[in-house]
Amino acid sequence: MELIIGFILAIVVVFILVFFWTRIKKKFSRELSNQRWKEESLKTYNQELVDTIRLQQGMIFKFIKDGDRFIHTLCDGRLLYRMDLFPEKIIGNELCDFLPHLDAETVIQYYWRAWQGEDNVTYEGGINGVYYLASLRPIRKKGEVVEIIGSCVDITERKRVENALKLSEDNYRLITENMLDLVGLWDIDGRVIYASPSHEKVLGFDPKKYIGVSAFDLVHPDDSLRVYEQFFQMISTKLPFQVEFRCENADGEWVYVEAQGTPVIGESDKLEHIVVVGRNISERKKVDEFIRKTEKLSLVGQLAAGVAHEIRNPLTSIKGFLQLMQMEIDKPNYLEIMLSEIDSIEKIIQEFLSLSKPQASKLAPTDINELLQYVITLINTRAKLKNIAIVQESDSELPIIHCDEHQIKQVFVNILQNAVEAMENGGVIQIQTMRSESDNIRFRIIDQGCGISEDRIKSIGEPFYSTKEKGTGLGLMISHKIVQEHGGTLSLESTINKGTIVDVILPIGKSEPVLVTP
């Protein structure tokens, strides 16, 4: 009986052990399966993460600090491959292992900043022609930085556009800073929005001076209305316009400008701005004026030649008969007056003839101080009658110049006679003679006469234009011609009620005479 009971107990114990073993085994198997599943899931997740990093357009990388070195522990992304690099080239290596030395030295400064705890450190770089923008963020554990994660995006296209834009801007700046054309941008009310740097070269003012100013206030008052009308006609028609006007430069002179305005049409066919391109045509105006005067002079010369020859022959006969009559008449005073007037006519005819054909100057060494003293002696008597003093301020060491003494005397006689006639209330005429820096001598005659207005001084030297009641205008015209034949210049400055300054510049050196044809 006991044996049976013992056997039964043994069976029960075995059954219990088997039951619990089975339970434990199943539980262990489940836990093992769960562990394997977790491991497989983690492996799959890691692979998917790697694939995601690899397939994304940018680039992800990580690095740690090992001593004084920064070692990369992760690097992948399509951007990496566009740089002709691979993860194997980056992972486990420092910057200097795959970047040029100078680039590595630059980038490592940003690595240090991130490792020192600075959040969101950004920088730009380029590898093998591919440009990127990188962002670094520190990863902390227990308040200490243990790793840095970085991300990069491709900015190659942006860099290409920026470089193209910079090149375009550089080219534009190079053009605008070196061109002599005046480029401006006006709004639809005529205010200046932009003025090119060439304004300073051409007009002498900083371009900023023009910004915000009405363009119509910048032109000569006599031209303002014409520019205004042309501008607003363009506003209504939206067609380009072209106009000439004068604007003031930094020296207070009026510069002739030829400008063309082109409307800039925006959306909805709306006029937004006007681009105005102008050019200094002052020199061209001078050339045109010179041509006009030359043509007029040519016409005068042709007329003078014909008139002089037609008058001279009968005048010679009349003069001869009058001289015979003078010897036979008891009271020849009337005949003397007639002969004097005929002499005046002959003088004018001679001036006409000198204009009608080229005159070759007979150059010879001349003491200019002696020549001037001779002319002053001629004029001084008449000057004293009008209470005028002639003061000569000459450099005593002036060199001998080569000139036609007779012609140069005629020039100074004409100028001094004009000065004396202009000084009705007496005064002082100054004659200054000096050697200029170049091989020239400058003669300056300064009177205290009535002066000449700006609009009239432009016509001085033209035939038949004179400021004197009985003048022919030929005296200064001939003087201009003589000075030009000597290779020099003659110019005038005058102020009403203050006087006139005449500058004559003659070369010192010996040169061939210049033929000036009418």
Residue pLDDT, tens place only, 252-262:
889 899 999 88
Q: Is pLDDT of 276 > 70? A: yes
Query: In percent, how much of the chain has pLDDT > 90?
Result: 16
Q: Give the span between the Cα atoms of 60 and 138, in whole angstroms.
A: 14
Q: Is pLDDT of 416 > 80? A: yes
Comparing 55-160 with 179-280, is the CATH topology the same? yes
Q: Give the span between the Cα atoms of 481 and 408, in whole angstroms.
A: 11
Which span out of 12-21, 115-124, 196-205 was modeled with the highest average pLDDT?
Answer: 115-124
Query: Would the CA dihedral through 318, 321, 327, 331 be positive or negative?
Result: negative
User: 3-class SS at 201?
Assistant: helix
Identify the pLDDT of residue 45.
Answer: 46
Written as six digits, the tokens of 207 are 């371009």
Nearest 10 degrees: Cα torsion 297, 299, 304, 306? 160
Q: Give the span between the Cα atoms of 467 and 382, in whole angstroms.
A: 20
Place of tokens 């082109």: 262
Query: How remote is the C-alpha of 515 from its chain's centroid?
Result: 38
Which ranges constitute the DSSP H helices of 329-367? 333-356
Write down the domain spans for the chain.
55-160, 179-280, 286-356, 364-507
Q: Is pLDDT of 316 > 70? A: no
Q: Is pLDDT of 10 > 90? A: no
Q: What is the 3-state secondary structure (H, E, C) of 299-333?
A: HHHHHHHHHHHHHHHHHHHHHHHHHHHHHHCCCCH
Mean of the pLDDT values across residues 57-82? 90
**Rg of the chain, C-alpha, whole Å:** 50
- Report the range of poorest mean pLDDT among 257-266, 299-308, 356-365: 299-308
Other CB atoms within 10 A of residue 92 CB: 12
Phi, psi of 509 (to 5 degrees): -65, 160
The domain over range 179-280 is classified in CATH as 3.40.50.720: no
| 487: DSSP letter | T
What is the average pLDDT value for the chain, to the nearest integer?
79
Written as six digits, the tokens of 267 are 């959306």
Q: What is the β-pairing status of strands 388-394 and 254-265?
A: unpaired
User: 3-class SS at 498?
Assistant: coil
The DSSP element (H or E) to which 230 belongs, if any, is helix 221-237
Identify the pLDDT of residue 197.
Answer: 86
Written as six digits, the tokens of 410 are 């005629």
Q: Give the span between the Cα atoms of 83 and 76, in whole angstroms.
A: 11
pTM reported for the whole predicted model:
0.40
Cα angle: 90, vertex 94, 99; to 5 degrees: 75
Contacts 24+ apart (CB under 8 A), 134-139: 134/110, 136/110, 136/111, 138/114
CATH entry, 364-507, from 3.30.565.10, 3.40.640.10, 1.10.10.10, 3.30.1330.60: 3.30.565.10
Identify the pLDDT of residue 445.
Answer: 93
CATH top-level class of 286-356: mainly alpha
Going by pLDDT thresholds of 50, 70 and 90, the confidence category of residue 165 is: confident
Q: What distance separates the 2 farthest-apart alpha carbons in the chain?
A: 209
Complete edge-to-edge strand list for the sheet that includes strand 69-76: 69-76, 59-66, 144-154, 130-141, 121-127
pLDDT, one tens digit per residue, over 420-459 is 988 988 899 999 998 876 788 999 999 998 888 776 666 5
Mean of the pLDDT values across residues 225-243? 88
Mean of the pLDDT values across residues 289-314? 64
Architecture of the domain spanning 55-160: 2-Layer Sandwich (3.30)
Nearest 10 degrees: Cα torsion 413, 414, 415, 418? 120
